């Protein structure tokens, strides 16, 4: 499904009574904001970053610019989910994140920065992270969303569209936001989105063990 398909659906339903329905560029913006919101709520795309520790270096960037970090799929980090490394016996173990009491853990001084208090040159840390969606810049672009979340996306477009009329909360956009929330809750309750068990299989499969 393309962005234009979603725009056409919104024109005949959620945005039917609004002048903004004729502004494809504006509606595309609503779609992009809806995609971001859904990627925040659901594990729609995850990737792995491998940090190769170096002596004397404690801070590593997860933005595609750090030579000691290899990012497997996309530099648009949305949320760090988990971290793994290997112990002296070669076993994959979880690394605590932002636990001040764990001297072997890692910290995130900013959303895309990893701070490693104790360095061991040559050691590897696997960071599993959720990837932000790439914003669509054309109505011909494919919507990077499973079909079961289309209803939620349209409800979000309706929420943004009605909110743009006055720039303030009103009964209509509040109603669409409630529908959006309910659509998301239904997707979870009915098991429409496969959850990701955050075990270290990705780390193992990449041959770092």
Q: What is the Cα–Cα distance from 70 to 68, expressed in whole angstroms?
A: 7
Higher-scoring residue by pLDDT: 203, 142: 142
Q: What is the pLDDT of residue 128?
A: 94
Length of the chain: 209
Position 199 pLDDT exceeds 60: no
Position 120 pLDDT exceeds 90: no
Helices within 12-52 (DSSP H only): 24-41
Q: What is the pLDDT of residue 200?
A: 46
Q: What is the Cα–Cα distance from 185 to 144, expressed in whole angstroms?
A: 20
Q: What is the Cα–Cα distance from 77 to 87, expressed in whole angstroms?
A: 27
Confidence of residue 198 (pLDDT cuts 50, 70, 90): very low
- State the residue for tokens 């701070």: 115
Predicted TM-score (pTM) above 0.95? no
Helices within 65-200 (DSSP H only): 150-166, 171-189
Confidence of residue 11 (pLDDT cuts 50, 70, 90): very high
Position 202 pLDDT exceeds 60: no
* Mean pLDDT, the chain, whole residue set: 87
Secondary structure element (H or E) that encloses residue 3, with its range: helix 3-11
Q: Would you say 52 and 114 are in contact if contact means Cβ atoms under 8 Å apart?
A: no
- Domain extent listing, the chain: 3-42+137-189, 46-132
Q: What is the Cα–Cα distance from 27 to 166, expressed in whole angstroms?
A: 16
The answer for residues whose C-beta is within 8 angstroms of residue 104's C-beta and 6 or more apart is 95, 96, 117, 118
Please state the rounded mean pLDDT for residues 149-174: 84
Please state the rounded mean pLDDT for residues 99-111: 87
46-82 pLDDT, tens digit per residue, is 999 999 999 889 999 999 999 999 997 767 899 999 9
- State the residue for tokens 């979000």: 156
């Amino acid at each position: 499904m393309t962005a234009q398909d979603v725009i056409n659906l919104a024109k005949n339903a959620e945005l039917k009574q609004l002048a903004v329905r004729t502004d494809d560029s504006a509606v595309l913006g609503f779609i992009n904001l809806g995609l971001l919101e859904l990627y925040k709520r659901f594990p729609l795309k995850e990737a792995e970053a491998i940090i190769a520790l170096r002596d004397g270096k404690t801070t590593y960037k997860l933005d595609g610019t750090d030579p000691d970090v290899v990012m497997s799929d996309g530099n648009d980090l949305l949320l760090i989910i988990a971290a793994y490394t290997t112990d002296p016996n070669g076993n994959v173990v979880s690394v605590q994140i932002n636990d001040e009491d764990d001297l072997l853990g890692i910290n995130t001084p900013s959303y895309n920065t990893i701070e490693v208090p104790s360095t061991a040159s040559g050691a590897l840390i696997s960071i599993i992270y959720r990837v932000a969606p790439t914003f669509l810049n054309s109505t011909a672009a494919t919507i990077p969303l499973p079909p079961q979340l289309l209803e939620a996306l349209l409800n979000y477009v309706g929420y943004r569209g009605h909110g743009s009329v006055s720039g303030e909360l009103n009964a209509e956009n509040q109603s669409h936001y409630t529908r959006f929330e309910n659509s998301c809750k239904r997707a979870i309750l009915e098991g429409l989105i496969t959850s990701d068990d955050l075990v270290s299989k990705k780390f193992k499969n990449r041959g770092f063990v």
